[in-house]
Structure 1
Amino acid sequence: MNSTPSRVPDLSDRPYRLVVEREMRADPHAIYRAWTERFDLWFAAPGSVAMTPRVNMPFFFETEYAPEPGMPTIRAPHYGRFLRLESDRLVELTWVTGRGGTAGAETVVTVELTPRAAGTLLRLTQAGFYDETARAATEAAWRDLVLPHQDEILAGPADTD
């Protein structure tokens, strides 16, 4: 699976980027699989994932959420392709969503996994936003919602003693 990409997006006109680090309780192998084979386990709507973890292979999935209780469910498509894969160490992919996400910009998400005694240090970088508003909203989503949810799904509820 170790490969280098043939076509990396030109991000020169989209200078905004974010970095989020999180100590995850799951091991690097579980997190790597979640990003390459199991989006439906922790992020994507069941049955919506079309994904083969190979460099330059495109993927598609949808997320579903209700903005408020009782409101209709919103489906949000996500598109991209894998750029680099290093088993249990690194996943790099392009990531395109609509309003409330990348606003149609092709961004590059890099997930670096470093083993720790009690899990993994996950470092997520996402580059290529057109503006600070999309960057800030996406950073908050990764930090406060998505990565904590992934950690809970992969490792179970955290002890709160």
Structure 2
Amino acid sequence: MAIAEPDLSARPIHCVVERRMACAPHAIFLAWAQQFDRWFAAPGTVLMTPKVDAPFFFETRHGEQRHPHYGRFLRLMPDRLVEVTWLTGAGGTEGAETVVTVDIAPNGSGALVRLTHSGFPNEASMRRHDEAWRAVLEHQENVLSSGT
């Protein structure tokens, strides 16, 4: 059975964020495919199996406010690529099913990460995510580099 790709044709707005990281491609792949609670999600909230078409759920928390994230894996290429659908509520994707593609390329002893987030419902949502992804990738590198 073919994977049902989200139809983003009515929502062509996207952002692209690149970051050179000192982390190995394998560590970055694992962080995206099965270790969200290590660097991004609130502890104990991750339901995730790195398998194409498998759903996932996790929460982030800012103070007392919780932000649920839902999606499913579209493509997985070990140490090279993770692609997921990404759905959040108000202040996030506003209920739109978007697609996050994380391309990981070896770069010396580290990696070049190119994150593309596609299918935003509006420019404001895209701008918020563009800014957030820059901070998130910096945080991911800091956590992965520290070994915690």
* Residue correspondence of structure 1 range 142-153 to structure 2 within 5 A: 142-143=133-134, 145-153=135-143
* 1:95 and 2:92 matched: no
What TM-score results when the alignment is normalised by the length of structure 2?
0.96
CA distance in 2, matches of 1:29, 1:90: 10
* 1:28 and 2:29 matched: no
After superposition, the C-alpha distances for 1:56-92 in whole angstroms (9 at most, x for unaligned) are 00000000113xxxxxx21100000000000000000
Among 116, 120, 138, the residue aligned to 2:129:
138
Unaligned residue ranges in structure 1 (runs of 5+) = 67-72
**Which amino acid in 2 is paired with 1:110?**
T
CA distance in 1, matches of 2:112, 2:93: 25
Tell me which residue corresponds to 1:126: 117
Offset at residue 156 of structure 1 (A): 2.5
Tell me which residue corresponds to 1:84: 75
Q: CA RMSD in A?
A: 1.4
Among 34, 38, 60, the residue aligned to 2:35:
38
State the aligned residue count: 147
Tell me which residue corresponds to 2:96: 105
CA distance in 2, matches of 1:117, 1:156: 19
Unaligned residue ranges in structure 2 (runs of 5+) = none
> What secondary structure, in the 3-state scheme, does the structure 1 residue paired with 2:15 have?
strand
Tell me which residue corresponds to 1:69: none
Offset at residue 101 of structure 1 (A): 1.2
What TM-score results when the alignment is normalised by the length of structure 1?
0.88
After superposition, the C-alpha distances for 1:18-57 in whole angstroms (9 at most, x for unaligned) are 0000001110000000001100000000000000000000
CA distance in 1, matches of 2:121, 2:79: 31
Tell me which residue corresponds to 1:55: 52
Among 133, 144, 148, the residue aligned to 1:154:
144
Offset at residue 118 of structure 1 (A): 3.2
**Which amino acid in 2 is paired with 1:140?**
E
Offset at residue 15 of structure 1 (A): 1.3
**Which amino acid in 1 is paired with 2:118?**
A
Offset at residue 106 of structure 1 (A): 0.3
Higher Rg: 1
> What secondary structure, in the 3-state scheme, does the structure 2 residue paired with 1:101 have?
coil
In the TM superposition, structure 1's runs of 4+ consecutive aligned residues that sit over 3 Å from their partners are: none
